[in-house]
Each structure stands twice: as structure tokens, then as C-alpha cells.
Amino acid sequence: MTIRGTDIHTMALPRDCSNGEERRAAGPARSFVLHLSAGCAYVTLCPNKGSGMRTRLLLVTPAVLVGTAVAPAQLRITSFNSNGELTWTNSARVGAYRVQWANSPTGLWSAFGTLTNLDSIWAETNHVTAQLPLSNAPTFYRVAWIPPDPIGVWEYRGYDPQGTLVITGQLAIVSTTLLTSNPPIYGVSGWRDLKYADRATNQLDGFYTGTGELEGRLELVYARLDFFWPTGCGDCGMIPSGTLWPNTYTGRWYYETFVGPMPGGAFSAERR
């Protein structure tokens, strides 16, 4: 997938990290030292005695913010071991990431490609570990957080409680508005164009389909997106609620009644 937008912030990297914390560990072929200090995190790989080589891998800890719904991330690399396991934490409890590499700390930053999953890591936790392919040449890594971005057109498919497809169509999200900053929550708005998959067997009320406006709410920390339509109806309508990933949106929908939301079925949506 492609990172969209240009709002990329990289921490300053001081030349001298010798005053930072050091952690040592041994591996089957080499040991390493992880140096941690303010604004600097790098790994020195130390081969067995007599090899005469030392490779330094610099771990850049950026906050990469893309798309339209953006809030400050607290992304921090916490460890990197001699087996190539890279671990980081983030203030976002659910999120998508990619790990990139370069030959220098200023880039150009490259993707790992389709041979690994490092271009698209989906995590339902804020403590993430990824396996990196190690290189004998000096290599620089950074972790990119991809905040959930609802803007765009989505192909929607809704199912009844038995798993039968009942509604198809499109959702188009055209704007987001920051409602609260701590925690970051956005209001979203757009329009819908939905139809019954099979009217002959569909028992849903007619206001679930058709063309009209929609509104919603995005919780950035949990990548949770809730919609409701038609707008302005207090005891009717459809409420899809699910997790928003970079190009997919999945969860369950509910229908609103005068006694509150009642369970419906599953849904999925793909970004066009």
C-alpha cells in the first residue's frame, strides 16, 4: 500500500550517544549493544572475537502521520535483538505500521517488498514486535505509523445474522472534523448509495438503503469507526461499527429502535 501525505517527522539524531543506556546480550554468532538515549537509538552488532568487523544499525524513531485524521503519536522503539526482532510501542492501541530501510539516516527510505509483511503490519496492541531480515552492510530502519484515514469511497457489503448478503453499495467519506484532542476523536460525514442484494428475500426496512447523507465518529486510538444513517432519526437507522485499517473496514452493524440498538450482522468495506 502507499503512504499518502507528506507530514513526516523524524527525531534529531545526535552524533554522540555514549551517555545513553546500554543493554548487552549474546547470540549464537555475535553479541550486540543497544544504546538508548534522548533522541538516539542504535544497535552495535559485535561479531565473535577475531572477525575484525563491526556493523552498526541505526534505528530511527519517527512519528509518521498521514491522511486527513492526524494526532500526535507516541511511537518509540524499545528493543532490537541479535535475531533481528524489532519492538516498539505507541499511544495508539490499534494501528497499522510499516518498517522501512535506508543506507543512511537521511534516506532514501525503501519498502521491504512482498517477500515480508513489513510493508503492512496490522496490530491490535500497542506493543508490537516485527522480524527484520538482517544485513551485513550498515542499514538504517524506521517504523511508520499509518493513522486510520476514512476519506475516500468504500465498497460496502452488509450481511444478516445468518451470513447472507443483504445490502451492497458505496460509502463516500468527504470530511473529518476534530471533536476532542485528548483522546483524539473525529466526526466524519459523507454520503451513501446502497441497495438490497436481493429484495425478494430481504426483510430489512427501506430506510437502510437508498441515497443520502451519513455521519460518523472515528476514535483514533482504537481505529474504531462508527456510522449512522439516515441522519436526524432518533429511533431508526443503521449503525455499522468496526475497525478501520488502511484499505479495509470490517465489523458488525446494528439497527436503531426506540428501545436502543439491536444486533444485525457482519459487514465489510474495501477502499476503491
**Are the CB atoms for 165 and 201 separated by under 8 Å?**
no
The full set of domains in the chain, from first to last, is: 8-146 (no CATH), 152-271 (2.40.128.120)
Cα 243 from chain centroid (whole Å): 10
pLDDT, tens digit, 9 for 90 and up, residues 11-69: 333 333 334 343 433 333 333 444 333 333 444 444 444 444 344 455 544 444 444 44
- Check residue 125 and give its pLDDT: 94
**Percent of the residues in the chain that have a pLDDT greater than 70, as a whole number:** 66
Q: From CA 98, how far away is CA 26, in angstroms rounded?
A: 28
115 vs 212, residue with greater confidence: 212
Per-residue pLDDT tens digits for 92-106: 999 999 998 888 877
pLDDT at 82: 81
Residue 206: predicted pLDDT = 63
**58 strand-pairing partners:** 42, 140
Q: pLDDT tens across 182-219, in order? A: 889 999 999 999 998 876 556 666 667 889 999 999 99
pLDDT at 115 over 50: yes
pLDDT of 9 strictly over 70: no
Between 217 and 136, name the one with better pLDDT: 217
Q: What is the pLDDT of residue 260?
A: 67
**Residue 114: which pLDDT band, with cuts at 50, 70 and 90?**
low
Angle at 259 between CA 171 and CA 195, to 5 degrees: 25
**Tens-digit pLDDT profile for residues 146-188:** 999 999 999 999 998 889 898 999 999 999 999 999 889 999 9
In this predicted structure, the answer to whether residue 1 has a pLDDT above a threshold of 80 is no
In terms of Cα–Cα distance, which of 211, 212, 206 is closest to 255? 206
Mean of pLDDT values over 136-154 = 88
